A and B are shown apart, each in its own frame.
Chain A
């Protein structure tokens, strides 16, 4: 069965520090992976997807099939990065986007 695990419920860092939000997955074959973000009082929205290999707001995520991981990284955290972050992947049928439980990132000055 497909599964997404985000081991950290809360990650607190200081402004300017590096950030790594962990995501591990269980999937047979080539997964379609995403990071979604929810800022305070805003809707859940897409941050980035692995097929695009893009950097959004300074965040990157690399798919590591050997470790079945898709960790989200940013070299220098900003206070505006404080939000809830969800890792997600589509199920084998492509009908459901399966989410992890989310990690709250808190960046303080």
Chain B
């Protein structure tokens, strides 16, 4: 009966390195979202997956960011050649395909780029 699970919870990396963040949604949830939250800022939408439909990638800030999801399971968010401005908490959420569309959030992955 676990909720949305994200790993790693904390990641410190050097500028220029690639990082991969993982999200395990709640079983049966067809929709999955990634958000970025910089210090003192609100949640910034990155990408949305819904089942096998084409994802909405409109929030990805640059081509260094990409995400994948296989079916209705795990998703990975990859940031290539990290920059200091990528430092943030990356939140994942999933939701069922029902009316009301409540999003269930993970605890986030805190990324620090030195």
Contact = CB atoms under 8 A, between A and B. Distances in A.
Chain A binding site: helix, strand, loop or mixed by DSSP? mixed
Nearest to A100: B42
Interface string A47-61: 001011000000000
B42 A95 contact: no
Contact of A46 (B35, B42, B99, B103): B103
Contacts of B103: 36, 46, 97
Interface in A62-109: 86, 90, 93, 95-102
A46 B33 CA distance: 15
Interface in A9-62: 32, 36, 43-46, 49, 51-52
Interface in B48-104: 48, 50, 56, 58-59, 91, 93, 99-104
A35 to B, nearest CB: 12
Given A44-B91, A90-B101, A101 B42 contact: yes
Instruction: Categorize the interface residue count of chain B.
Output: 20 to 34
Nearest to A46: B102
Interface residues of A, number: 20
A96 B59 contact: yes
Given A46-B102, A93-B56, A86 B42 contact: yes
Contacts of A86: 42-43
Contacts of B105: 43-45
B12 to A, nearest CB: 21
Given A43-B105, A44-B105, A97 B91 contact: no
Interface of B: 3, 33, 35, 41-43, 45, 48, 50, 56, 58-59, 91, 93, 99-107
Given A45-B105, A90-B101, A102-B42, 4 more contacts: A49-B100, A93-B56, A97-B33, A97-B45
Query: Closest 5 interchain pairs by CB?
Result: A101-B42, A95-B56, A99-B43, A44-B105, A96-B45
